[in-house]
Amino acid sequence: MRVVFAGTPEFSVPCLEACSASGAEVVAVYTQPDRPAGRGRKLSPSPVKQAALAAGIAVEQPESLKSAEAQATLAAYQPDLAVVVAYGLILPRKVLAIPRLGCWNVHASLLPRWRGAAPIQRAILAGDTETGVGLMQMEAGLDTGPVLLEKRTPITRDDTGGTLHDRLAALGAETLAEGLAHMLAGGMLAATPQATDGVAYAHKLEKSESALDFGRPAIVLERQVRAFDPWPGSDAEIAGERVRVWAARAVEHPHVADPGAVIDAGREGIAIACGEGALRITALQRAGGRRISAADYLNARPELRSQRAP
């Protein structure tokens, strides 16, 4: 089976490795063009490109797949199947029709919930207790195709965007490997149409979402801190200083203080009054600094230990 793989970020790499290990022939890897990265803003290859070059696989990096030239290049590889994992470019209908067996997509949610760009973080933000990955037969709509295989995993209260990302990347590779093994053995996967109810869209994350609004319930802010670790992070003001919050817990702490006021500060963390309950911050980062514990932060700001709101 001749496979063309399309992906870009670190999430896609385990699936590329699963394709290579399956016995299928990965004839080409498509990934987005090199982008500026780091403080020097030098052009940097995507994680998928790096993995492909290390494996000796041909790499294609078109700006778009809409041109006849790009489509002809893809067709020349004579793919039986295309596997798409967080590629980041839209596949036109003509591209979807090129592989003999169509195009598969590995998506990090339990479809139809959280179609779109940021399903991992949106699931945490919404307070979902379960998520998973789906192996989907692609069609023209945004993540609307029938599901071929699905695997589930719980979302724990300790999960962050980073930990859930890594777990789902591994689960996605496992699901893809199972699907490829079935096809290579001569079988066919049953395609189950997505439900028409329960559709939710996971819009792309924006830096503008990073501010913590202490007027909201503490549990909502806890989910935000977890979901936005490692990116875009959660920004807040503690007694006049802007900081980035990396770990926090919603706690039951009766108070009549205004949202944003420090109501307790000690070894266990810094409790901030919220619209409902309080948010106890346990890890944070000062401007230009590194991630530190709340206890270390209080060593630098000892006045907060005696700053108590009612």
CATH number at residue 216: 3.10.25.10
Render pLDDT for 158-177 as a digit per residue (tens, 0 to 9): 999 999 999 999 999 999 99
Tokens 């990265």 -> residue: 37
216 and 160 in one domain? no
| Residue 228 C-alpha from the chain's centroid | 10
Q: Which of 183, 228, 172 is nearest to 205 (CA)?
A: 228
Query: Can you tell me the mean pLDDT for 275-300?
Result: 97
Above 90 in pLDDT, residue 54? yes
Name 217's bridge partners.
276
Buried b (16+ CB within 10 A) or exposed e, 198-233: eebebeebeeeebebebeeebbbbbbbbbbbbeebe
213 and 195 in one domain? no
Peptide bond into 112 cis (omega under 30): yes
Last residue of a domain, one of 202, 234, 256: 202
Above 90 in pLDDT, residue 307? no
* Contact criterion met (CB below 8 Å) for 229 and 160: yes
Last residue of a domain, one of 145, 179, 202: 202
- Report the C-alpha gap between 97 and 287 in whole angstroms: 50
Any known ligand binding at 79?
Answer: no
Above 90 in pLDDT, residue 254? no
Q: What pLDDT does residue 253 have?
A: 86
pTM of the full structure: 0.95
Q: What pLDDT does residue 310 have?
A: 62
Contacts of 289 (CB under 8 A, 6+ apart): none
Q: What pLDDT does residue 309 have?
A: 63
175 and 236 in one domain? no
**Is residue 280 classed as helix, strand or coil in its secondary structure?**
strand
Render pLDDT for 75-89 as a digit per residue (tens, 0 to 9): 999 999 999 999 999
Task: Tell me which residue range forms the domain holding 53.
Answer: 2-202
Above 80 in pLDDT, residue 12? yes
198 and 222 in one domain? no
Q: What pLDDT does residue 40 have?
A: 81
Any known ligand binding at 12?
Answer: no
> In sequence order, what DSSP letters do the residues of 2-68 get, joined into one string?
EEEEEE-SGGGHHHHHHHHHTT-EEEEEE-PPPEEETTTTEEE--HHHHHHHHTT--EE--S-S-SH
253 and 168 in one domain? no
Any known ligand binding at 111?
Answer: yes
Q: What pLDDT does residue 60 have?
A: 98
213 and 249 in one domain? yes
- Which residue type is seen at 10? E
Query: Can you tell me the mean pLDDT for 137-152?
Result: 96
144 and 15 in one domain? yes
The CATH number given to whatever domain includes residue 140 is 3.40.50.170
Above 90 in pLDDT, residue 133? yes
Q: Which of 90, 100, 117 is nearest to 9 (CA)?
A: 117
Q: What pLDDT does residue 290 have?
A: 97
- Report the C-alpha gap between 289 and 13 in whole angstroms: 31
Any known ligand binding at 109?
Answer: yes
**Is residue 204 classed as helix, strand or coil in its secondary structure?**
coil
Render pLDDT for 18-47 as a digit per residue (tens, 0 to 9): 999 999 999 999 999 999 987 788 999 999
Tokens 């896609």 -> residue: 12
Query: Can you tell me the mean pLDDT for 139-154?
Result: 96
256 and 177 in one domain? no
Q: What is the mean pLDDT of the chain?
A: 96
232 and 164 in one domain? no
271 and 186 in one domain? no
234 and 129 in one domain? no
* Contact criterion met (CB below 8 Å) for 120 and 165: yes
Q: What percentage of the chain carries pLDDT values higher than 70? A: 99
Q: What pLDDT does residue 41 have?
A: 84
Query: Can you tell me the mean pLDDT for 100-121?
Result: 98
Confidence label for 308 from pLDDT (cuts 50, 70 and 90): low
Q: How many domains does the chain have?
A: 2
292 and 181 in one domain? no
> In sequence order, what DSSP letters do the residues of 103-164 get, joined into one string?
EEEEESSSTTTTEES-HHHHHHHTT-SEEEEEEEE--SSTT-SPEEEEEEEE--TT--HHHH
Q: What pLDDT does residue 187 have?
A: 92
**Is residue 262 classed as helix, strand or coil in its secondary structure?**
strand
Last residue of a domain, one of 176, 202, 228: 202
